[in-house]
Amino acid sequence: MPIRGSGGGLAASEKPKLDGGFPGTGLSDEDIKEGKVLTTRWKADAKYGWDAGVAISRYLAGLKEGKILGVRCHKCGRTMVPPRIFCEWCFRNIDEWVELKDTGTVNTFSLCYVTWDVKRIKEPQIPAVIEIDGASKGMGIMHLLGEVDPKKVYIGMRVKAVWKEPAEREGAITDIRYWKPL
C-alpha cells in the first residue's frame, strides 16, 4: 500500500490556511504531477482463513451438487436464503433444510461501468438481487446476470442459474456462473 507523505519541497505549514475561518488544506493535482509528493509501496501479506460455518458450509456443498439450499423457521414461517442456523427474527434454531429451485426473479439490478478501484469498463457488469423460487417473497441473493442485453434487463425479469460443469464445481458461489433470462 502506498503511503503518502509531504516531502520533496512541499513546505509543511505550521499554521493551517484559513479560508473563511475553517482550517484544512487540500493537495492539488499539480502537487502530485510535479512529484512533490512522496509515495512508498509495500505489499500487505494479509491472508485470512475463514471458517464458512455450519450453515454456509452446507449451502456450498449444495452448490457443488447443483442445488440451492435454504432453511425454514416454523415459527415465523419464513424460508430463507442464504441459509443460517438461526432465525434472526424469532432468535431460535431453524427447523429444517429445504432445496430451492435454481430459478428466480430479479428484485433489483445495476449496470456497472467501473471496477472496484474506479477504472472504466465498456461492457457493464450486471449485479442483481435475485429472489429465489421456493424461498419466501423478498428472499434474495446477490449474483450476476449474463447472456442478456443490458438494455433489456428489468426488475421482475425471470432468470435461471447457469451452472459450471459438475467437474468444475468447487463448492463456491461461483459454481453458478451467472443467471440468464428464463
Residues that bind other proteins (CB under 8 A): 1-4, 6, 10, 12-13, 16, 19-27, 39, 48, 50, 52, 56, 59-60, 80-82, 84, 88, 107-118, 124-125, 127-129, 138-144, 155, 172-174
CB of 54 to other proteins, least distance (A): 12
Copy the grid coordinates of residue 150: 443490458
Q: How far is the CB of 163 from other proteins (least distance, A)?
A: 15
Instruction: Please identify, using beta-carbon distances, which residue of 88 and 96 lies nearer to other proteins.
Output: 88
- Tell me how far apart the alpha carbons of residues 79 and 87 are, in angstroms, rounded to a whole number: 10
Q: How far is the CB of 41 from other proteins (least distance, A)?
A: 9
Alpha-carbon distance 121 to 124, whole Å? Answer: 7
Quick check: 85 and 56 in contact, CB under 8 A?
no
Cis geometry, peptide bond prior to residue 82 (ω within 30 degrees of 0) = yes
d(CA 60, CA 69): 9
Shortest Cβ distance from residue 96 to other proteins (Å)?
A: 18
